[in-house]
Amino acid sequence: MDLPIQKIDQKNGQEQIIGKNILLGVTGGIAAYKSVEFLRLLKKAGADVTVLMTGSARHFVGKTTFEVLSENAVLSDLFSDTESSVKHIDIATKADAVVIAPATANIIGKFANGIADDALTTTLMAVTCPVMICPSMNTDMYQNIRVQRNLDILEQDGWHILDPDSGALACKTVGAGRLPDPWFIFDRLCAMLVKKDLKQKQVLISAGPTIEAIDPVRFVSNHSSGKMGYAIARAAEQRGANVTLVSGPVSLDTPVGVEKIDVLSCGQMADQMLTHLKKADIIIKVAAVADYKPCDPKDKKIKKKDNSKELSVAMTQNPDILKQIGEKKRPDQFLVGFAAETNDLESNALLKMKKKHLDMIAANLVGSSDSGFKADTNKVKLFSKDGSVFDIPLMEKDKLAHILIDQILEKMG
Ligand code: PMT
């Protein structure tokens, strides 16, 4: 299976998953093999997973596979598998979330109509936690009016429906009905478990480096990987915000549900940030913007001169995007800057907060391998314009992103 390793290593939203009791319902569809990989992601993220299989699911993937990978007994028969006759009630009561992947037309019909005639449907009757259904079937079956009606019923009941992907299906047709990739189901599960305290908020974020051309093949830039800004974009989207991410060139996948705008130079980033500023409630400027750019970028490659050992490139200052935003922003907009510092962290950050009219600045000591540029972890000190200071110790950028959002919301009241 083509599993994008980077997406898994980004540890998207692991915080929501660690220590959680997740019930994974597997029903009889060809995509059942993908739920094995989904189970691996859940385990890797620290979940305790119990798998429930329908009889037909066992025709596609063996029970042993799920048992070994989940390190828990698989529940597939109410009467012969369990030590306790009320095991299904025990696991239903303890569950923090349920994912049914793949979900067949049959199981969707049963759930929607309150039928409880096997281990999975009976257990689901007793759960009170959030449930996500991942329909996967032939396109005509998926579009069938009864299946759609049943999905509508489940949605109205508060269950989350993850739309299937479109593409080539096992039945040799092409259309909607494919089970989404395991990392995507994982990402949406994280989003389902997160509080939606940014609902109806517009969040504008800049991330990554800018690059300033010297000639068509060379440029001036910095080491920003985009990880910090993308983690904040992902966290904000999961918490219900509409997120616009203005990104310099990075090699990260766009977080699910985020509108990304690619830019190269500071000038392009300034244009996009200012265009999208008006509708933003929260603006977070994480990008490492080049302070200077070549005065006179050449349109042809600069040739090496054998008679000259040195080359000087005259540089001129770029516009300060954050300062421009600070001067333009309305009082109801909340503006956060980042300050990458190698020394005098506090005084430099405070000066930038004042000069650029910020509500908050995340002072980021850079220069070590575990924080700042490129690292998966980071540590920052948050200074707010009301004089308060909040220390976020070294942790995964994904986790830090959520704490930063908590702090922003607290300051916004
Ligand atoms: O991308 P990663 O590899 O995950 O690394 C994360 C990070 C280290 C880049 C990030 O955490 C960080 O510290 N970002 C700010 C980097 C920076 O450019 O700092 P600065 O002190 O030079 O700028 C201060 C603020 O002004 C920043 O919000 C910056 O976006 C903004 N700025 C700077 C210059 C400029 N011309 N326009 C700007 O808007």
Residue 284: closest CA among 217, 185, 198: 198
pLDDT computed for residue 88 by the predictor: 84
> Mean pLDDT, to the nearest integer, of 153-167?
96
Confidence of residue 1 (pLDDT cuts 50, 70, 90): very low
Which tops the pLDDT comparison, 4 or 357? 357
Quickly tell me which residue has 């009864």 as its tokens: 146
**Which residue from 11, 205, 285 has its CB within 8 A of the most atoms of ligand 1, so it is best to mutate?**
285
**What are the tens digits of pLDDT across the range 166-180?**
988 887 888 889 999
Cα–Cα dist 105/158, whole Å: 19
Look at residue 2 and tell me whether its pLDDT is greater than 50: no
Angle at 121 between CA 116 and CA 122, to 5 degrees: 65
What's the mean pLDDT when you consider all of the chain? 93
pLDDT computed for residue 375 by the predictor: 96
Q: CB of 376 closer than 6 A to ligand 1? A: no
Candidates 171, 190, 266, 295; catalytic one = 171
Query: Nearest C-alpha to atom 21 of ligand 1 is from which residue?
Result: 339
Q: CB of 228 closer than 6 A to ligand 1? A: yes
Q: CB of 39 closer than 6 A to ligand 1? A: no
Q: How many CA atoms lie within 13 A of 215 on its CB side?
A: 8
**What are the tens digits of pLDDT across the range 138-150?**
999 999 999 999 9
Cα–Cα dist 66/408, whole Å: 41
Reported as type and span, the H/E element at residue 119 is helix 119-126
pLDDT computed for residue 6 by the predictor: 40
Kindly report the backbone phi and psi dihedral angles of residue 332, in degrees, each rounded to the nearest multiple of 5, phi listed first.
-85, 0
pLDDT computed for residue 9 by the predictor: 44
Burial (0-12, 13-18, 19+ Cβ within 10 Å), 408: buried
Q: Could you tell me the residue ranges of all domains in the chain?
A: 17-193, 202-297+315-412
Superfamily covering domain 202-297+315-412: CoaB-like (3.40.50.10300)
User: Contact at 8 Å (CB) between 302 and 311?
Assistant: yes
**What are the tens digits of pLDDT across the range 50-89?**
999 999 999 999 999 999 999 999 999 888 755 566 788 8
pLDDT computed for residue 243 by the predictor: 98
Burial (0-12, 13-18, 19+ Cβ within 10 Å), 402: buried
> Mean pLDDT, to the nearest integer, of 224-243?
97
Give the CATH architecture of domain 17-193. 3-Layer(aba) Sandwich (3.40)
User: Contact at 8 Å (CB) between 92 and 127?
Assistant: yes
Query: Nearest C-alpha to atom 17 of ligand 1 is from which residue?
Result: 288
Active-site residue 171, yes or no? yes
What percent of the chain shows pLDDT beyond 90? Answer: 87
Same fold, 17-193 and 202-297+315-412: yes
Q: How many CA atoms lie within 13 A of 332 on its CB side?
A: 6
**Which residue from 292, 293, 338, 364 has its CB within 8 A of the most atoms of ligand 1, so it is best to mutate?**
338
Q: CB of 287 closer than 6 A to ligand 1? A: yes
Largest Cα span, the chain: 88
Q: CB of 337 closer than 6 A to ligand 1? A: yes
